[in-house]
Amino acid sequence: MENPVLIFFIFLPFLAAFIIPLLNLFWDQAKTIVLLLVSLVLFLLSAIIVINPPQITMYAPGGWYPVDNIPLGIHLVGDGLSRFMLLIINTLAFFCAIYAIPYIKLFTGQKYFYTLFFLQLAGLNGVVLTGDMFNLFVFMEVAAKASYALVAFGVKKTEIEASFKYQVIGGLASLFMLFGIAMLYWMTSTLNMADISVVLKNNHVDNTSLIRFAQLFLLAGVAIKSAMIPFHAWLPDAHSSAPSPVSAMLSGVVIKVLGVYVILRLFINVFEPCGFMSMVIAVLGGISMTAGVILAIGAWDLKRLLAYHSISQMGYVLMGTGIGMGVIASGENPEVVALTFTGAMFHMINHSVFKGLLFLTAGSIEYSTGNLDLRRMGGLAQYMPLTMIASFAASMAIAGIPPFNGFFSKFTIIVAAIQGGYYFRAALGMLVGIITLASFVKFQRYAFFGKPLTGITLKQTPVLMNVSMIALAVLCLLMSLFIFPEVRAVFLDPAVNILIESTD
């Protein structure tokens, strides 16, 4: 089924990125209007195609449709998984765009920020919609290049250094990805993901070792881009140096799309899940989950603390994904497979909301106090009540405290691990949850409920920043409803079904 709406998720942000500098030459408010209008349209489109989804849809830019079932051109594919990811990307982008309007006035060159923001958004949407490997790489690079520039947007020494580190390590990841894609093309003579899957599943490639070699290169690339430990060195500096709306996008969306989504798409939809790769992914997830929270507990810079928790929380998703792949490879317990993938999808969207919100509250604190060191904060609850409420909701969500959304997704992953017989991983998930709670009790204690600050003047947080934070805080509660079958059937099940059906 053809659906030309898909192209708008890529075309609109690219168009906005191009016209903002032009319109800004003679109309200073054009960038703000374009930012709000385009981000709102993309948010509404993503919500509509999730709530009222068509069947799996495809759009071929340029009209290059398959001939005799042989793909000839570029294809955009809108299935349950890609629609789910579009909702994550464009929801957070919309609230970050609202937040950025007053926040980014702290910097010069605002029109360049909006241009880079839309380039990043176009690349992220392209990654989840493309149906071929080469354009997957191209859109990943578009999003990554925009992210490099956004990290350095403040042009301070620390920001430029963080961006340089991000670029160097990101360039290595891109090299791994390109080499893995080249090997796949050499083995299968096609770049279309569905076609590659058919070729591999029909055993048209006899050399299993070569396939595994290509998989390891691809996994190394996405492990770096998603900051799995031990490939995480770029993330704490990048997240702590970037403007807060950028940090929210990096943590809430970029590491998911360029990392976890690509793992799901390639290692479940394209490749047939195997015991070896499932073990590697689950082990990397477990290590990231544990080491990330240990690094976070000792951090005093608020944004670095949140950055380490991004590593830890993505570990939950990867561990759940690895467990699901392992159960598929063993051919047992299909109910466990559905439960693990449901938990992974649920935690992905939960993390985008509560971690995006945490970075926005950190930005609000920095905006008002000019400080991110928890040891130099205190008593902010009486000066910043809305920020305190929002950060409390996000802190309880990431710590897995009911009735906030993070509890239900973590609980689902842990129950799935127990049902699948992975008792150590389940125990590890519960232990990490306890340490996460301790870390965010520390955040709340030192920032909002410690000894009040004296001798400084706090800036008033703008209304639009508060609007974004409160809206995301409400979502931290409302998304707990995803645990109910009727709601889950709309938002989570279509993505889970795509992962399960591709392995049948």
Q: What is the pLDDT of residue 69?
A: 67
106, two tokens: 């702290």
Question: What rounded mean pLDDT belongs to the chain?
Answer: 88
Band of pLDDT at residue 77, cut at 50, 70 and 90: confident
Nearest to 130 by CA among 1, 226, 266, 254: 266
Q: Confidence band (pLDDT; 50, 70, 90) for 63?
A: low
Beta bridge partners of 152: none
CA 237, 431, 322, 324 dihedral sign is negative
- Give the helix/strand (H/E) hosting 312: helix 302-330
**Is cis: bond before 403, omega within 30 of 0?**
yes
The whole-number average pLDDT for the span 152-160 is 82
CA pair distance 481, 470, nearest whole angstrom: 18
* Predicted structure pTM score: 0.93
Q: Give the contacts of 423 (CB within 8 A, at least 6 positions apart).
A: 417
Q: How confident is the model at residue 67 (pLDDT cuts 50, 70, 90)?
A: low
Mean pLDDT of 294-307: 91
444 or 154: which carries more pLDDT confidence?
Answer: 444
Nearest Cα to Cα of residue 127 among 170, 81, 179, 163:
81
Band of pLDDT at residue 11, cut at 50, 70 and 90: very high
Measured CA distances, 194 to 75, 85, 341, 502 (Å): 10, 19, 21, 10
What does the pLDDT average to over 248-264?
A: 91
Query: Are 13 and 122 in contact, with CB atoms under 8 Å apart?
Result: yes
Contacts of 148 (CB under 8 A, 6+ apart): 163, 166, 167, 170
Helices and strands in the chain, H and E counts: 21, 2
Is residue 79 very low, low, confident or very high in pLDDT (cuts 50, 70, 90)?
A: confident
Measured distance CA(192)–CA(45) in Å, rounded: 26
DSSP state of 69: T
Q: Determine the Cα–Cα distance for residues 212 and 97; give it in Å rounded to an integer.
A: 41
The span from the first CA to the last CA of the chain, in angstroms, equals 22
Cis peptide before 21 (omega within 30 of 0): no
Q: How would DSSP label each residue in 405-433?
A: HHHHHHHHHHHHHHHTT-HHHHHHHHHHH
CB distance 472 to 95 below 8 Å: yes
Q: Which residue has the higher pLDDT, 393 or 194?
A: 393
Q: Give the mean pLDDT of 106-129.
A: 89
Residue 353: both structure tokens together: 């909301």
Give me the pLDDT at residue 30, please: 83
| pLDDT value at 374 more than 80 | yes
pLDDT of 192 over the 60 cut: yes
Which of 172, 176, 129 shows the shortest CA–CA distance to 14?
129
pLDDT at 149: 92
Q: Average pLDDT, stretch 337-356?
A: 92
Its sign, for the CA torsion 86, 92, 97, 100, is negative
Q: What is the pLDDT of residue 503?
A: 59
Look at residue 62 in the predicted model and tell me its pLDDT.
67
Q: Give pLDDT, residue 107.
A: 79
> Helix H segments across 152-274?
157-188, 193-201, 208-225, 234-241, 244-249, 255, 262-264
**Residue 5 phi, psi dihedral angles, 5° rounding:** -60, -30
The pair of three-digit structure tokens given for residue 54, joined into one six-digit string? 């068509």
Q: How far is CA 407 from CA 347, 404, 413, in A?
A: 9, 6, 10
Going by C-alpha positions, the residue among 464, 449, 363, 346 that lies closest to residue 400 is 346
Average pLDDT in the 32-53 region?
Answer: 91
Residue 377, token pair as written in the block: 């904060």
What is the percent of the chain where pLDDT is above 70?
94
Of the listed ranges 78-92, 320-334, 460-474, the least confidently predicted one is 320-334
Q: Which residues 6+ apart lie within 8 Å of 104 measured at CB?
A: 110, 113, 243, 245
Q: What are the Cα distances from residue 88, in Å, to 354, 370, 443?
A: 12, 30, 26
**Cα 228 to Cα 245: distance, rounded to the nearest angstrom:** 22
Q: Residue 46 pLDDT more than 90?
A: yes
What's the half-sphere exposure (Cβ side, CA atoms, 13 Å) at 180?
A: 24
Predicted confidence band at 37 (pLDDT cuts at 50, 70, 90)? Answer: very high
Evaluate if residue 140 carries a pLDDT over 70.
yes
How does residue 55 score in pLDDT terms, banded at 50, 70 and 90? low
Give Cα separations from 304 to 235, 242, 293, 298, 395 (angstroms): 9, 11, 12, 10, 15
User: Coil, helix or strand for 192?
Assistant: strand
Mean pLDDT computed over 302-314: 92
Phi, psi of 120 (to 5 degrees): -60, -45
How distant, in Å, are the alpha carbons of 58, 184, 192, 193, 268 from that of 189? Answer: 22, 8, 10, 12, 20
